[in-house]
Every structure is written in structure tokens, then in C-alpha cells.
Amino acid sequence: MSIRIFTIQGYAHLYRSLLRFCKVSNAEALELVYMLNTANLDSYAYTHPGRKYAQSSPVRFFAGLGADFLPYRTEVQLYKAMAALDHHMDHEALIASQREEVQHMRCLMRELDIAFYKTFGMDIDDKRTVYGQCVYGLVPREDEPSVCLMKDWVNLPTA
């Protein structure tokens, strides 16, 4: 299994998006992204023994979240980012508190998908959504869709 390490910049986007799209408090979002970061790093260390990587202190990590990074434009981007993060975890490498936060993230993903279905009548990763156009990672591209459905994105006027 190949585990990818995500940047603090990516976690800043995730943090801001949790506050925007999910019913979480600031403290809950901070705890979640920090534990997901440590889980990702521990997974990398477990699957790549002997490889070097930079691990931020909690102070540096939280300072990085305070930078001027925006939330994702849509809940589709958030969902796909969380799916990518979940994929880059080796659950055998995680301690109990990290596993709990990964489970918390999965619950938030389910809540996003349910709310999306109630609004649009389709799953968030349906081919009719912009899911396929979003990055499978935490840092979005500049040209990612600002709408949730492909039909809306295709019909946007070009600048």
C-alpha cells in the first residue's frame, strides 16, 4: 500500500471546509484535522519504515491552519478530499484515538452524502456530479468547479 503525506496547507483547506459544510465546532474541527494529520503520518511511517519525513509540532501545525487558506467551494470537494485522506491511512498503524477520529470523519462523510442526496436526489460521487473533476487530495486546483452538478458546471459562462 502506498501512503501519501498531505501538507499543512491541505489540512487548512479541510479545517475551513469542516467549519463551512459540517456541523462541527471550531475545537472539534481542530482536534479532527490534527488527529487525521498524525494518523496520516503514522500510516506513512508504518508503511515506509526507514524513510524520512517532516513532522510538525502541534504549535506549528495549528499556526499553519491560521494562514489565509479558503474552504473548498463545494461539499463535493470536501467529500472527495476526505475520501483521499481515508485512502491514505493504514488502520493497522493507528492508535485508538486516531481510529476514533477516522471514524468521525467517515460519519461526517456519510452526513454530507445524505444531505447531498436530499438536496439533489443523487449520491455525492455520482457521475452526474463534479466529483470526477475534483482533485483526489486536500489541496484543490484553481480550476475546480464551483458548483456541485456537471450540468451546471458545463453551462457556466466562461470568463
Any domain includes 26: yes
Extract the C-alpha cell encoding 61: 501545525
Taking only the tens place, the pLDDT of each residue in 127-150 is 999 999 999 999 999 999 999 999
Q: Count how many domains the chain has.
A: 1
Closest CA to 47 of 82, 20, 87, 84: 87
Taking the whole predicted model, whether its pTM rises above 0.85 is answered as yes
| Domain interval for residue 129 | 8-154
Separation in Å, CA 89 to CA 65, 85, 104:
21, 7, 14
Any domain includes 77: yes
22 secondary structure, DSSP code: S
Taking only the tens place, the pLDDT of each residue in 33-68 is 999 999 999 999 999 988 888 788 888 899 988 768
- Residues 85-122 as b or e (16 or more Cβ within 10 Å = b): bbebbbeebbeeebeebbebbeebbeebbeebeeeeee
CA–CA separation, 83 and 154 (whole Å): 24
Q: At residue 5, what is the residue type?
A: I
Q: Are 39 and 102 in contact (CB under 8 A)?
A: yes
Any domain includes 131: yes
Any domain includes 159: no
